[in-house]
Amino acid sequence: MSKKLDFGIVDTHVHVWDVEKMRYPWLDDVPFLNRSFTLADYKDACGEVQVDKMVFVQCECDPAQHLNEVEWITAQAKTEPRLKGLVPWAPLEKGRAVEEELAVFAQNPLIKGIRRIIQFEPDMEFCLKPGFITGVNLLPKYHLTCDVCIDYRHNRNTLKFLEKVGDVPCILDHIGKPNIKGGGLDPWRSEIREMAQFPNLMCKVSSLATEADHKKWTIEDIRPYADTIFEAFGPDRVVFAGDWPVSSQAAAYPVCVSTILKLLKDVENDQLYKLFRKNAEDFYHI
C-alpha cells in the first residue's frame, strides 16, 4: 500500500452467503459470485488489512428466506467476535404492517439497521410509495438505521425520498453507484451534492472499482467520483465499506483499501481514522 493505517478498521459492508442453505436469485446472472462465500473466506481475502469490526449486510436472498438469513448470521456471530452488527432485509413497503417484524428485530442486539434495496425495483418511484415511506419512518422507533441502496438512475426520486424521512439515520450504499464505466459523472455529481445537504444522510465509500471497467479501471477513472463524495459529505459523514465479495469482481480486498488511501494520500491521519473506524462506530453503534 502507498500509505499504511496504524489502526484496525471497521468494515461496514460485508456479505457472506451459503448457496446450499438459501436461494439468491441474482447470483444466476453473476457466475463469478455464484458459490458460497464464508467468513473464513473473508478473513483470507482481507490479507494484510486489519479488520477489527465488521457489519454484515443482507445479501438479497429469496425474500421468503430473509428471517433464515438473520438466524444463520446471528449464529455465526457466536464464533466470530468481530461481527458486531447486522443489517437485514425487511418488507418496509408494508408500512405499519412491518412494525411487528421490526419489534422482533429490535430484540436482537446485533441488528443495527434495515436494507430494503431500491435499485432492483422496476418501478422507479418505489421509494416514494406511501407504504415504503411509512415503513422507513418507523425505524427510529426501534433504534434502527436505513441503508439506501440505489444506482444513479434513482437519484432524483431519492432526493424526494430524503425529504420525507428526515428523522431517520440513513446511509447511502456504494456512493450511490454512479456509472463510472460509462463516464457518467454528471448529473450524478450535482445530485450527490444535493443529497449531501440532508444532515441525516451518510455515505459508504465502497465498490469504487466495481462501477468502473472491472478489467481496465484506473485510479484516475475513479478520482472525480471519490472527490465528489469526500467534498460533499465531509470527513464526518463518510465510512469505509468493503462490499466483499462483490467488490472482488474488480479488485482484491487490500486493493480496495489501498485505492482509497491513494486517493486520500494528503489527508491527515485523524480524518482517515474517522473514515475507516470512528464514523462507522458512531453510526451503527458498535
173, 193, 259 from 190: Cα distances, Å: 17, 5, 24
pLDDT of res. 4: 83
Q: Please write the tens of the pLDDT for every residue from 41-80.
A: 999 999 999 999 999 999 999 999 999 999 999 999 999 9
Q: Please write the tens of the pLDDT for every residue from 199-232.
A: 999 999 997 999 999 999 999 999 999 999 999 9
Tally of CB atoms within 10 A around 200: 16
User: Where do the domains of the chain lie?
Assistant: 9-284
Q: Please write the tens of the pLDDT for every residue from 170-207.
A: 999 999 999 999 999 999 999 999 999 999 999 999 97
Residue closest to 224 by CA, chosen among 193, 261, 257, 180: 180
Is 60 within 8 Å of 66 (Cβ atoms)? no
Measure the CA–CA gap between 89 and 135, rounded to whole angstroms: 12
1: confidence class by pLDDT, cuts 50, 70, 90: very low
2: confidence class by pLDDT, cuts 50, 70, 90: low
Region 9-284: CATH code: 3.20.20.140
Q: What is the mean pLDDT of residues 127-147?
A: 98
User: Which pairs from 277-281 meet CB under 8 Å and 24+ separation?
Assistant: 277/7, 277/8, 277/9, 277/10, 277/52, 279/202, 279/236, 279/237, 279/238, 279/239, 280/10, 280/12, 280/53, 280/55, 280/239, 280/240, 281/10, 281/53
Tally of CB atoms within 10 A around 51: 20
